[in-house]
Chains A and B, each alone.
Chain A
Amino acid sequence: MLLNFDRLGWWKYALVAVTVLTAAFLLLPILFIAALSFGSSQWLIFPPPGWTLQWYSQLFADPQWLGSAWTSFRIASIVTVLSVLLGLVTSFGLVRGTFLFRDALKALFLTPMILPVVVLAVALYAFFLRMGLGGTMIGFVISHLVLALPFSILSISNALEGFDKSIEDAAVLCGASPLEAKIRVTLPAISHGLFSAAVFSFLTSWDEVVVAIFMASPTLQTLPVKVWSTLRQDLTPVIAAASSLLILLTITLMALVAIARKVLKS
């Protein structure tokens, strides 16, 4: 009775009310930022006295904001490529391997997901100071890759586990070389895993704040770091505009994943 929606009686209304309110609570800040970014009030008064695009034009006129967005995009793109390639090779080893401690090694690869990010950030900061990699593009890419790789390994391994290896063997028996069979048979079959690995890697790097705060230098910073340092001075609506762009990219990528899942599954 409690698990039958239609027979809940008045409890039904109470539960639906809590759920809808919670959804509204979760949605509120996201809609609020979008509204703020078009509001004409410098003091973030809501509802705003009028609507304007001036915060976006300020954002696009400022070489620092644009530069950090471009930096973020470049880092996230490089991280995505490396993460998918490395994740793919590693997943083959982890899923089909027969070596000792296979499960322990897989757990090791996933550890960066559960470690408090601040610990990793501080550790890498110290390490890169010594290596002279602090505030460099390579430093950013490496540190974001540490965080993105687990997502990549997880999605590709899952896809590979769901793929029947005998199909690949059949291609080899039909005359394909083992590499050819992997590229022309296995890769297309696990493409949904590769795709989500790419999207998760990109978003992990694009949205990363904590490690980036420690990695950034005055001349090289990502968009979230620029948002962070601006936030510490004031709450200007330009941040709302920048945040809206960050969110817009996330929504676009998530929609792509949803569409790709449908297309690749059918």
Chain B
Amino acid sequence: MSTYIDVARETATTSKAARPAGLGEIMPALIFVGIFFIVPVVALLLRSVLEPVVGFGNYAELLGSATYLKIFANTFIVSGLVTAISLLIGFPVAWTLAIMPTRLASVIFAVLLLSMWTNLLARTYAWMVLLQRTGLINKMLIGMGLIDRPLPLVNNLTGVTIGMTYIMLPFIILPLYGVIKKIDPAILQAAALCGANRWQCLTRVLLPLAARGMVAGALMVFVMSLGYYVTPSLLGGTANMMLAELIAQFVQSLVNWGMGGAAALVLLVVTLSLYAVQLRLFGVQNTGGR
């Protein structure tokens, strides 16, 4: 009995003494993240207004030059294209997965997860080989008699779009699946009973009910696409550079930290503000971007 009281007393006193509780436990991680995440990122952004001279000269140059504006435009065009195509393919797939017999669906899920977790470089390499002039895709198209001469599928917009869409598809299918799975089939039955035909059921009931999920998934894919580096630089050409490559180029080959920092800030501001929109509209969701 006495031990019971002792323990109870001890628990009471320690929780009072250690208020606010839990701060000690998060301290090591907080210090780590502070030194190796916040400080470096803030320092990089500061360099954009400090180097080579103090002021906003780097931003003026970045936003005033046709070359850089073209890169911004291209980044948005590629991301927009990838988002649109992913949504177009992803919606029917997510819909089918939500209503398919579970055994078949779980096979498709395994494929989705496998592709998501397969090394990004490995997958990009595969597309470089598949899409080249003498690659399998061109050979198949010629073999089927659809084209006479090999199409330029890589080192251009087509290549980046195919490669990026391939990477983004799982990221849009999985959240959409969750949204469609939650829709009550009775609502659609009711619509059918009220005389709606299949097409009306789709456009007036199912699509509006899934709209929130579609916007959330599209935003996520768009934001992730904006910052991608590896795939665009391997599958895209020099003519359609994207923002992440520009940042890397400023830093690696031009050793221009001021401009690199400025471009990084632009990417960061666009990314975080779109992410804030998503948070405001839909609450927290898991993302992952490379």
Q: List chain A positions with a Cβ less than 8 A from chain B.
A: 1-5, 8-9, 11, 15-16, 18-20, 22-23, 25-30, 32-33, 36, 43-46, 86-87, 89-90, 92-94, 96-100, 102, 105, 108-109, 111-127, 142-143, 145-146, 149, 153-154, 169, 172-173, 175, 203, 207, 209-210, 214, 224, 227-228, 231, 235, 239-240, 243-244, 246-247, 250-251, 254
Contacts and interface: CB of A to CB of B under 8 A. Distances in A.
Given A114-B271, A149-B29, A4 B114 contact: no
B264 A119 contact: yes
Contacts of B108: 19-20, 23
Contacts of B32: 86, 145-146, 149
Given A90-B25, A122-B264, A32 B126 contact: yes
B82 interface: no
Contact of B120 (A4, A16, A209): A209
Contacts of A90: 25-26, 28-29
B201 A2 contact: yes
A173 B118 contact: no
A244 B126 CA distance: 11
A217 to B, nearest CB: 14
Given A19-B93, A115-B271, A172 B287 contact: no
Given A115-B271, A173-B4, A22 B128 contact: no
B96 interface: yes
Given A26-B170, A115-B271, A126-B44, A2 B202 contact: yes
B208 interface: no
A113 B129 contact: no
B114 A3 contact: no
A29 B126 contact: yes
B117 A93 contact: no
Contacts of B289: 113-117
Contacts of A19: 92-93, 96-97, 100, 108
B122 A118 contact: no
Contacts of A228: 121, 230
A33 B129 CA distance: 9
B154 to A, nearest CB: 11
B36 A146 contact: yes
A168 B290 CA distance: 39
A195 B247 CA distance: 36
B189 interface: yes
B113 A254 contact: yes
Given A97-B20, A97-B26, A114-B289, A247 B119 contact: yes
B268 A115 contact: yes
B235 to A, nearest CB: 11
Contact of A120 (B37, B134, B201, B248): B37
Contact of B23 (A8, A30, A99, A116): A99
B288 interface: yes
Contacts of A224: 119, 121
Contact of A116 (B37, B201, B226): B226
A224 B23 CA distance: 37
Contacts of B37: 111-112, 120, 146
Contact of A22 (B89, B99, B287): B89
Nearest to B257: A126
A92 B185 CA distance: 41
B24 interface: yes
